[in-house]
Every structure is written in structure tokens, then in C-alpha cells.
Amino acid sequence: MGKPIPSVDTYQNVLVKHNYYRDSLELLRLSDEIKRYPGIMEASLAMGTKTNKEILIKLGFPTDHIAKAESSDMIIALRAKDEGLLLSTIPKIEAILRGTGTGGEQTQDMDHSSTNDRHDLESVLSSDKEINIALISVPGEHVKGLAFKLIDEGIHQQIFSDHVTMDDELEIKRYAMKNRVLILGPGAGTSIINGTGIGFSNAVTTGPVAIVAAAGTGLQEVSTLLDHCGIGVRHGLGVGGNDPKEKIGGLMMSEAFKMLEECEDIDVINIVSKPPAASVKQNIIDHATKHGKKKYVMTFIGSNASMENTKVKKVSSARRLTGQSHKIIIANTLTSSVFATAKHIANINKSESSINPIYVKIEDLKRIIMTERKRLRNEQKYLRALYTGGTFAYETQVILNGLAIRPLYSNAPLTKAQLLQEATKSFKNSVIDLGEEEFTKGRAHPMIDPTIRKLRINEEASYDDVAVIVLDFVLGYGSNPDPVGSVIDEIRNAKLMASKAKRHLSVVAHVCGTRRDPQGYDRSLTRLKDAGVVVLPTNAFAAIAAAGIVAKRPLDFREAYLRFIGEIHQGELT
């Protein structure tokens, strides 16, 4: 570590510890703890990945030490009010790090988890034969060996880890099928089993719906919106985004269907996925039509057009959800999926469907959009969507493309032509998935760590041509303890900055969560509204609102609702 560098009224320093690994989540928690020390203005502990180095430089730390760090090195960057405080904090950090120890050092629970009760894998496997599921969140290159060992023990698995190759995934899943083990993931952040949330999940009511999802935040959105409609979810199985691709062939989707078909208390199975490979899609539909005993809602986000090439019997399109009674419904957004499921349940119960808590009347949405549009200056033309949930980023692009919001770019685009040149630099209308690999290597997921989004809100708000920033807030187990509170100052500052430049910056958001989630659903909504944010009940409504704000021509709301909401209340059809 070099001499502390004085800046304007502050001192800062950067220490690089070579070949020193700590989990990104532990480093995030330690960073937050150090930031609370009196006189410490910024503290960031991170592995030396490209993304982390860029963030530290954006936070104003000197580049020379940071640039030399490798991804296996840990960087400690500190900024304090005075030199003495800076120097005295470093040994404290070192002591905490030694306490968490590797290589024979003493173990101390640094990350404030409630567990001081850690075990080694072998002793757990040999002593506890009742374990029926493992939740795995280790770096991707270590997953295969671990998964095979657990399959040999007959233990089902939810693999949260990213960066597992498709070859490894296929090997793991084939071996699991031979041994009658269910593999959820890799890349599966969310599951619900018998009403218990595993990974990123919400406190939802248990009920007659099961969800099979290849889209994690998609599962969260559908289960929470159903909860708002008074409909419970008993099981939600996240099979990972690669499962419905040609190479994996939907292996675990098929396993999940078989298991769920045997559950007597399930009436509706809802499948949530980006459009699967054609062969996988046909297999899913064949399964449901030939062997399925349940009602099915197939939510292939944005895929209505391509259904023409799939052999489907008795399938209603999302355009004609009302009054149908067939076994399968196809929906193309998460919102239309929920409305379709609510209809199924209402038909089964011979009751009225209860979607009012999450429905926005056309006239209300029009009014919101007009209020925002009137306040914009002519040069404010573009939207910037900064998503922590990958499924939301995808769904929003489907809607924006469908409503002709162009040009549109993304770091996780629907088509190659819409690929953003640099994920860290928005261009015209941009939808950013902050959970993509370029942002998460060596860092906690943005649903936990708000740092990248905070910096990005500030940056987007500084551009004269930006009209609207779109945000998602995902509540629930595993997420940041206060997703709204962690960025509310940045939202207020962004609006203030725009106001000083004689602009109105529109911010549109939706909160994915339930009233029983630990972060407080209503409190989250209130704080956003108090900060001047337009809050909509679902991501699809938020995307349509944002589209309406930047659209060059007024939206055809009837068409937009028919295509992406799947529901228009009576009296709104004219």
C-alpha cells in the first residue's frame, strides 16, 4: 500500500492483496460495515475483476494500483476525512479478514449471517441422510464436481451459480436423470417448494398454481402478481435459462412436469420462459396435450408470432383470453400470464377473476403518460431502463419493439442488431440487464449490491436527451434488505440535477414483491411515489408507460393492451 493520497478535504488509499479470495457477498457486507465507521467516506472491498476495477475508478480511486490487480487479487479501497483515520482503519480490516480465514486460520463469522454453525461437506453428507435438496452458489467452475457428488447421494439441487458451461450443464443433467435427481439451474436464482422460497423468492400464499420457470425474475413476478390477486403458488421450479435451449433439450422442464402432474393439489401449471427452441416448445406442448391432466398456461415471453410454426391443438392466443376453457393458454408477457392464470382459477372455482389490484385502466395510464410528456423538453427523446431482473429487461424489450420504440439497444438484446457496443455506455433507447456476466463477475448480483445501478442512475440523469429512466425493485428473501432505500437518494439527486438544468426527468418503476416480504411492499411504493416516481403494478404496465412517454406518435392503447396485457376491462374497448 502506498502513502495515503490527499484529495480535496479527503485522504484515500488502495491496497491490493495478491491471490486472496473472498466471496463477493462477504466483501459487500464488509464494505458496508466499514462505510459505517465514523469518518470513513467510501469503502470498497472487491475482487480485481474488470467490472470491479472500472467501478472503483468511477468511484474516484487512483487507477495505478487498481489497474495492476488480477481477478484473483482482492482490492481494498478506502476514502476518509483524515489521514490518521485512514491508517487506523486498515489494520482493522486486515484483522477482520484474518478472522474469516482460509489456510488454517481461525474462523469467525464476518458476514453477520446468523450461522456460526458451518460444516464441511463430507461430514454433513455422511451424518445427515435426511437432506433432500442442496442450494449451490459457488463460482461456476467448481459446480460440476460438486453436483456429481451430490447426485451420487441422491440429493436434488438448485444451482444458483452462473458461468457453468453448457457442456457441463448437459453432463450434470443427464447424470441426474439417470439417478432420478432434479437439477434446478445452473443460473436458477429462484424456486418455491411447498410454499418455501429458495434463493431469491417472495413470501407468497400457498395455493393451486405451480410454475416451471426458465426465467428467475419471471417466476418472482408471476408468483407475486398472483399473490396480489389472492391466488397462491405451491411450487415454483426454476430450471435455469439454458434448459429450454436446443442443446439441453428441456431435460429438467420435462422432469418438473412429471413431478408436478403427480401433485393432487395443483390445478394449473404455468410455464415461464423466453421462447424455447422449436423442438423443446413442441415437446412441451405435446406433453401438455397428450399426457397433461392439469390446465397449462404457457408464457413464452414475446413469442406469439412464432407459435404459427408449432403444432398446437386447442390453443387460445393471448389475444383471446376471455371466456376460453381449453387445456392450454399461450401468453406472451408475465402480466398476461397472470391474468390468464387468474381466469383459469376463476373458471375452476366458478367465481369472478380478481385481477383488479394489478390492473391499470387505459384512461389512467393515458393520464400518467400525458402528465409526464407535457413536462419534457423537445430534446428529451430517449429512455434508459436499468434492470436488476433479467426477465424484466427481456420483457421490456419485447414490448418496446412491439410498440416501435426505436432505435433500441441492449447488452442482452433480442436480436444481434440491437446489441449495445459497450454495456457500460447507453446509446439512444437502451435497456440494460445489470445481472449479465459483464456486471457480475466477482461481484454480488445487482439485486443484492446496488452500487453499479447507483452510479448508472447518476450518469443517465446527466444526459440532456434522456426523458425517462425505468427501474425494477425486487423484494423478497435473498434480495437487498432495502432495495428502494438503497437507491432513493440517487433517484432524488437525479431529479434534482435535471431540475437545475431546467429539465424534468421522468422515472418509472415497478416493485416485484408481496405485502409479507421482509422489505415492506407498501413502504417501498410510498417512498418511490414521495420521490416523484411513477409506480406501476407490473413490469409490462411500466414498459408501456415508458414507451408512451418517449413515443414519437401517441400509442394505440387498445392495441398495446391486446398485445401485451391480454386483458381489457369492459367499457374500455371503444
> Which parts of this chain interact with another protein (CB under 8 A)?
21, 23, 25, 102, 107, 111, 113-115, 117-121, 124-125, 128, 130-139, 141-142, 146, 152-156, 160-161, 179-182, 193-194, 196-199, 201, 235, 259-260, 263, 448, 477-478, 518
CB of 257 to another protein, least distance (A): 12
CB of 167 to another protein, least distance (A): 10
CB of 73 to another protein, least distance (A): 14
CB of 113 to another protein, least distance (A): 4
Among residues 174, 181, 94, which one has the least CA distance to residue 132?
181
Spatial separation of the C-alpha atoms in residues 389 and 436, rounded to whole Å = 10
Instruction: Identify the bridge partners of residue 466 per DSSP, sorted by sequence position.
Output: 382
Q: In the block, which residue shows the cell 367499457?
A: 571
Residues 6+ apart with CB under 8 A from 355: 229, 338, 339, 342, 567
Of residues 193 and 491, the one with the C-beta less far from another protein: 193
Element (H, E) at 135: strand 133-136
Of residues 21 and 463, the one with the C-beta less far from another protein: 21
Of residues 132 and 462, the one with the C-beta less far from another protein: 132
CB of 543 to another protein, least distance (A): 29
CB of 540 to another protein, least distance (A): 27
**Helix axes of 334-349 and 539-550: crossing angle, nearest 10 degrees:** 140
Of residues 181 and 376, the one with the C-beta less far from another protein: 181
Among residues 316, 322, 317, 351, which one has the least CA distance to residue 339?
322
**Phi then psi for 121, rounded to 5 degrees?**
-60, -45
Of residues 45 and 562, the one with the C-beta less far from another protein: 45
Collapsed DSSP state (helix, strand, coil) of residue 561:
helix
Of residues 148 and 463, the one with the C-beta less far from another protein: 148
Alpha-helix residue ranges (DSSP H) falling in 386-450 = 390-402, 437-440
Of residues 194 and 378, the one with the C-beta less far from another protein: 194
User: In terms of C-beta density within 10 A (0-12 exposed, 13-18 middle, 19 or more buried), how is residue 78 classed?
Assistant: buried
**Phi then psi for 28, rounded to 5 degrees?**
-60, -45
Of residues 463 and 477, the one with the C-beta less far from another protein: 477
CB of 259 to another protein, least distance (A): 6
CB of 21 to another protein, least distance (A): 6
Among residues 413, 403, 474, which one has the least CA distance to residue 199?
474
- Enter the C-alpha cell of residue 51: 467490472
